[in-house]
Structure 1
């Protein structure tokens, strides 16, 4: 496959005269800040921006990965898949998965400024009304409800037109979007492909569960919708490019330290009843040099659902017996830490197609031409994510399984119809399935006292029968969709791998051998009601029983959203910034 991956301009900010971004630990001399944010990913970038709006706050962000500047694969939307198994990925894998007969699943997480928002596939789906209302119900905080979170979802967005210049009236609902926020959101460029025309025609023909829905982000996405993505001006809009712009990075009270690994948080050496209890952050940087930074107000963990618990385990947080078993001295007994890991499993069903629509990924000449077009105008096939459409569905109402979804507005599965996803010359159509209301729960643990050892990630995919039932239902609906009359002469046949899977057992065998993940881990440091003896953080995202330590990332979600999780993480971080400003008497900031 032709690609221009991995090009990085190191030291960009230094050579351009800015002094708030440091490429390595030895470049930063200060040791004490008001806020130390661990992780410059989706949530960490939001917090860095919002807290540094307050000029009296000194803010440090510590990011383990490099800058996102100059990484072409992180700019060109269709090159996103090149970022997995690259230097910009932590390159984790899961434990052997029981449903997959012991197969391990690659587990990509962003190792770059912007975190996973810099390497994800950019689909922007907020989730459903019921998702957020369930958060409010289980945490006892109405502020997490859809109605209360909606202003934050709006605050995130700068909805922009696609770069093809068309009139997008009737392709989205303008009333439910924001236009003054940080992260650019857009509809796909229309390439006028027969494939997209057929998707719409099939939805109209079949109706019912496939009925066209104006906007997937109105809180009830069930049906067929146009995709929306974190793309603006034809290129990726990540947390780094949107919340950490050059103007923001010029703030003298914001310091961003790259290529530096956080290993632990530590207790205060000068304990005060009114001060933070954990105010030190241990890091390692260039040449394996270590440093301790101090937060005079708060340490904020935004290292993600994998990184934040991993740091806390090595800091003595978690189940006391489990910590002792690996040689770590327990300091804070939080048995729920690392439990409740939830993710969206994914797999795909392939179909041979009869079409002359070109696959730029399979032809180096076409790809070079498309890249030139993208460089010149940010248009063409490279300016889009892989899919222009999404279809959301639920199990039949007479299903014998307890419903794991948040409610009737929440889908059980997502079906993504894609043309020519892979760099192979034969025309083909791919149906990507994601189980978006999973009942399965896994764990994140450690088996070593060395913080540089990788965590043990067990999402326990498909261990709940309801998830398997949802996957079967999705496949049967995919077959129904591609059997619509509009596909006659276009769809030739289903690929051999799944074509003969008809019974439940046969479908299960196919799913078992082919599933992976949608890379949406959440809930490893879940919220619970204030005062509850379970959970990891209170509804204000403060670690239970601890002063001066807060977690702000996807790990705090009590349940996963039935949508791509980045939208929810942005909104969580925006609300958290308001919490923090309020707590530190900055009500008008």
Structure 2
């Protein structure tokens, strides 16, 4: 099921001479900066660089604009953005640990990237996550305190659409109120009995599930209200915020849509530079080129960035030769170290008719809500995302898994396990009324890869997420499921939850063996993927980019997206890298982390050239 209505509400008109549909319309072919990819990373950099009127910037985006597209604007309709379609890269992934299933992996192929299709959750992770980035990269600027400036440059805390009293649901001192991208609490309440049941669970089981007034304080442990990138009932993505009407008409900002970069081309050997970008609209179309006078910035995302680097001759030299690509820069870890949060759906039959399932199942009711949303400027349940609360916990320090596995969390404030409470099911085919609480492992130790299927830049990559291929990951996700079962064992849920839905087929109280079987058949990476062009200390012979995000061995080429986020730590020496590295995923939303990376990167780029 996929809605296809065109949004009738009069939105801001983004049409401008700054946005181009055709290469022939570009005013020139040389720019100070060429940015590849208009997602969470690229749109931030494009915005911040063009604050300097002396900088001329071209942003290349493979897809079209989301403007006027209902599903990409209504927050609740993110449930319709999980299937293949024309505005998606239509990737599939696999893993031996997931029974070698071929799993659909949505990624936004449109201006705004995954910020236009995700579940809108705004979660930074912990103080410990960022302080570890600073430690292992040797750059204190990646630490929590140092990034506060960029948190506030990014975030504009916005009152919820229904203007309810926010006391006790967030802590203002931890937030920015004058940034670019909106963050808010739910703007339409769940039925009182649902939120009351969560409050009662916290009261009854508070030793394990304490209330945390703000998951974005840097100490996210406990049960917190959901915070989302929503502005007055509308999705707040990197397109509508960083390329919003107050920015898009800058005369030095140029955006070329429906244009996929195929290679960055070496323009100098001493020093090594890649300042020319080749691109085309499609596989059979004429390849065109533009040139950067100062830098090329790759912001194509954790899956397309390594593919683009390899197609450009930057990667493992032996592997590139085997694929028929001339090696230019030997960088063996391009496309390795892929790390992704792993999640599993848990859906239960609910003894109520007051769930959001009626929106999904009743087209007439849904159309009435669309009319309300249009006429009121975002009011009603469609202006919400579907989770109500986050449950974030650590594994106990005396867990048996730590007898022979190092704790992969960054520190005592970093979470291992996540559950999200949902007053309904996001399935488009189920009939009935449900309560969902999907479980996620936020600190996986499995490491996957992105490889090429051919030397055709338009061929999809081969993505092995490697999920559930380590002992820790099997244990950790199993414990996340058991955590949700304990949460739902509270008195408040008795008589409300009527057992597992047919899609789940896993009872509360299932054995470890039953849970593991269910996980291998049903778990999937949740879209938070990082690490395929990872940061490492300046001068290190491992990793792909330095802490300033410049590609190692190359001048004037940077990567600014989620692919840089995993920092590699070697405990002995580089020769045993593959068995000694640790995964450093943020224990929050990778979109949120990418915004902060891009904000800081923008200042580093400015400092180089101003």
TM superposition score category, shorter chain reference: over 0.9
Aligned residue in 1 for 2:73: 75
Aligned residue in 2 for 1:529: 537
Matched residues, number: 577
Aligned residue in 1 for 2:423: 419
Mark the CA change 1:121 to 1:474 in structure 2 (over 3 Å): closer, same or farther.
same
Cα distance per residue 1:528-578 (max 9 Å; x no partner): 000000000000000011101000000001221001111110010000000
Q: Select 1:302's aligned residue among 299, 306, 310.
A: 299
Mark the CA change 1:136 to 1:2 in structure 2 (over 3 Å): closer, same or farther.
closer
1:393 correspondence with 2:393: yes
2: CA distance between counterparts of 1:25 and 1:81?
Answer: 34
1:570 correspondence with 2:570: no
Aligned residue in 2 for 1:134: 132
* Matched-pair contact (CA < 8 Å) for 1:2–1:367: no
Deviation at 1:57, TM superposition (A): 0.6
Deviation at 1:24, TM superposition (A): 2.4
2: CA distance between counterparts of 1:317 and 1:225?
Answer: 43
1:488 correspondence with 2:494: yes
1:351 correspondence with 2:351: no
2: CA distance between counterparts of 1:168 and 1:500?
Answer: 33
* Matched-pair contact (CA < 8 Å) for 1:157–1:180: yes
Aligned residue in 2 for 1:507: 515
Mark the CA change 1:501 to 1:105 in structure 2 (over 3 Å): closer, same or farther.
farther
1:249 correspondence with 2:224: no
Aligned residue in 2 for 1:212: 211
1: CA distance between counterparts of 2:280 and 2:13?
Answer: 21
Partner SS, residue 340 of structure 2: coil
Mark the CA change 1:7 to 1:316 in structure 2 (over 3 Å): closer, same or farther.
farther
1:408 correspondence with 2:412: yes
Partner SS, residue 211 of structure 2: coil
Report the TM-score when normalising by structure 2.
0.92
1: CA distance between counterparts of 2:168 and 2:514?
Answer: 41
1: CA distance between counterparts of 2:170 and 2:485?
Answer: 27
Cα distance per residue 1:197-234 (max 9 Å; x no partner): 21121112110221110000011111100000000111
Cα distance per residue 1:61-91 (max 9 Å; x no partner): 0000001111111100011122232221101
2: CA distance between counterparts of 1:178 and 1:215?
Answer: 14
Alignment gaps of 5+ in structure 2: 568-583
Deviation at 1:190, TM superposition (A): 3.8
Listed as ranges, the matches of 1:20-35 within 5 Å are 20-35=18-33
Deviation at 1:518, TM superposition (A): 1.1
Cα distance per residue 1:351-378 (max 9 Å; x no partner): 1110120421111121111111111221
* Matched-pair contact (CA < 8 Å) for 1:25–1:259: no
Aligned residue in 1 for 2:35: 37
Aligned residue in 2 for 1:543: 551
Partner SS, residue 518 of structure 1: strand
Partner SS, residue 469 of structure 1: helix
2: CA distance between counterparts of 1:208 and 1:465?
Answer: 28
Instruction: Extract structure 1 runs of 4+ deviating beyond 4 A.
Output: 5-9
Deviation at 1:426, TM superposition (A): 1.2
Mark the CA change 1:6 to 1:266 in structure 2 (over 3 Å): closer, same or farther.
farther
1: CA distance between counterparts of 2:8 and 2:21?
Answer: 12
Deviation at 1:104, TM superposition (A): 1.3
* Matched-pair contact (CA < 8 Å) for 1:2–1:361: no
2: CA distance between counterparts of 1:6 and 1:110?
Answer: 18
Partner SS, residue 444 of structure 1: strand
1: CA distance between counterparts of 2:183 and 2:386?
Answer: 16
Mark the CA change 1:190 to 1:71 in structure 2 (over 3 Å): closer, same or farther.
closer
* Matched-pair contact (CA < 8 Å) for 1:153–1:567: no
Aligned residue in 1 for 2:144: 146
1: CA distance between counterparts of 2:394 and 2:526?
Answer: 18
2: CA distance between counterparts of 1:103 and 1:176?
Answer: 41
Listed as ranges, the matches of 1:9-408 within 5 Å are 16=15, 18-84=16-82, 85-95=84-94, 97-193=95-191, 194-268=193-267, 273=271, 277-285=273-281, 288-358=285-355, 359-377=358-376, 378-401=378-401, 402-408=406-412
2: CA distance between counterparts of 1:458 and 1:111?
Answer: 20
2: CA distance between counterparts of 1:132 and 1:346?
Answer: 23
1: CA distance between counterparts of 2:201 and 2:180?
Answer: 36
Alignment gaps of 5+ in structure 1: none
Partner SS, residue 392 of structure 1: strand
1: CA distance between counterparts of 2:513 and 2:5?
Answer: 41
1: CA distance between counterparts of 2:173 and 2:455?
Answer: 51
2: CA distance between counterparts of 1:321 and 1:554?
Answer: 26
Report the TM-score when normalising by structure 1.
0.95
Partner SS, residue 243 of structure 1: coil
Cα distance per residue 1:467-507 (max 9 Å; x no partner): 11111112212111111111122112133611187332211
Listed as ranges, the matches of 1:547-562 within 5 Å are 547-557=555-565, 558=567, 559-562=584-587
